[in-house]
Structure 1
């Protein structure tokens, strides 16, 4: 009886293993195509909040696909750097405009009087 149960268990394990591995029949577990980024970030305009919120990265067996995540992070980093540079440029232009509009001042913050001719 013990020998019969042992043989039956070996047959069942072998059958399950062949079913999972495929055993020459590829219909058991067909190959799944890897997920791709279906809605990439727009390239013809700056990114907005809605673009980032709508972004869904494809999942790989061990998490997210690293190449897609790297591409998204590179794009976001470049856009943030571009916006930071533009903000700094506008702030310096505004500071220059305010300084020229205020006119020359002495050390105590009082406007200097122009000498009479």
Structure 2
């Protein structure tokens, strides 16, 4: 009796394995020509092109993952974009600070500043 149950169990397991593996895609359905095409894991580049980056844009970036970490090309693109924007902002801040220093040295109020009442 034991050997009969053992043989029946092996036959059932083999039949299920053949049915699943024989379908081609592992779904157990009819053969459809193999596995479906995998979509590549690429960044959608959520960084806006038409305006400067904000902190929320940087927080929203999700870099695509490869087998051994992040995809280097996409990661480098994001970091290059962030570096360029930071350099542009630093240059603008330096220019504004220089202009503010010149205005303070001349003793005149900055452009757009209102005169104090009673002066």
Match of 1:101 in 2: 107
Larger RCO (alpha carbons 8 Å, 6+ apart)? 1
Q: Is the 8 A contact 1:36 1:58 kept in 2?
A: yes
Unaligned residue ranges in structure 2 (runs of 5+): 1-20, 25-31, 109-119
Q: Does residue 91 of structure 2 align to residue 85 of structure 1?
A: yes
Alignment of 1:25-36 (within 5 A): 27=34, 30-36=36-42
Unaligned 5+ residue runs, structure 1?
A: 1-18, 103-117
Q: Separation in 2 of the partners of 1:39 and 1:68? A: 9
Residues 29-76 of structure 1: per-residue CA shift (max 9 Å, x gap): 555232111242100000000000011111111111111100000000
Residue in structure 1 matched with residue 58 of structure 2 by the alignment: 52
Q: Is the 8 A contact 1:34 1:60 kept in 2?
A: no
CA contact (8 A) 2:46 2:60 kept: no
Runs of at least 4 residues off by over 4 Å: none
Length-normalised TM-score, structure 2: 0.59
CA RMSD of aligned residues (A): 2.3
Structure 1 length as normaliser, TM-score? 0.60
How many residue pairs match? The answer is 80
